[in-house]
Amino acid sequence: MAQSLRWMAAALLATALIACQRRELATPAIPESTAQTARDQAGDASTSSVLSPSDLPTSGLRLNVPKASLRALADATFRRGRLDMVEHQIRARDVRDPRVLEAMRRVPRHEFVPREFRRYSYVDSPLEIGHEQTISQPYIVALMTELLRMKPEDRVLEIGTGSGYQAAVLSVLVKEVYTIEIVEPLAKRAESDLRRLGYDNVHVLCGDGYRGWPDKAPFDGVIVTAAPETIPQPLMDQLKTGGRLVIPVGPRFDQELVVVNKTERGPFRETVIPVRFVPMVGEVQKERPAK
């Protein structure tokens, strides 16, 4: 009898272990602390009103927010998470530009996140978007946008459209955004999402961003969301004097976020923080030193 009970206990334990393994395989690769934050935010959001006066754009700030994008903000499921993202992940750190903070409040990140990861849209983490690419961590999007120091009349070149989220944030702050994506399915999906949400001042090109977009140059700012090991010279050439380039530079596990200010006396380079972006691919790979 005792031996039979031991066999039954062993069988039940094995069944439980298999069930746990299946659950782990089916769960998105999101840290438990991040998942808990998302669950907390979703719970809080269920009791929130759709929009409150504090959610409305701050008076005096010039932002080109399309109506379709504003309608997407009416989803109460994500309201609390979006506002907490700006307050606790971005403003509480070191991003202070009020226009950038307002842009982060006004652009619905969840609309650029694949449906299976949408519940994590406003946690402080990059998320997979397919084709071995990611949508950047919200703090990094805000930081890079602030480092550009853009004005409403400016034109910006972005290399690495990805999900289209960074381009959408830029589009409410500047006159025109020109963005290039080398992965065709991502370029098509981003363009579709940007059109659907009303970001009509974003122009998407599918191609290799190494040489920029010469026909639309020069640009007041250039932002790169994939990391080359050295700064592509064509991007510097297409930057106006007085403009700024924000770019991650370095090999996969040793990258730094760099700002280059192009002046009449030449470029001035400043290193900001260590970062980790997907590597830039395409023609830029020809410049990588032999191992």
- So which residues are the catalytic ones? 136
Distance of alpha carbon 88 from alpha carbon 129, whole angstroms:
24
Q: Tokens representing 158?
A: 């972005």
Q: Are 172 and 201 spatial neighbours (Cβ–Cβ below 8 Å)?
A: no
Q: Which residues of 247-277 are buried (b: 16+ CB within 10 A; e: fewer)?
A: bbbbeeeebebbbbbbeeeeeeeeeeeebeb
| 251 residue type, one letter | P
| 87 residue type, one letter | E
Gap between the terminal Cα atoms of the chain: 66
Residue 218: is the preceding peptide bond cis (ω within 30°)? yes
How many alpha carbons fall within 13 Å on the CB side of residue 144?
A: 30
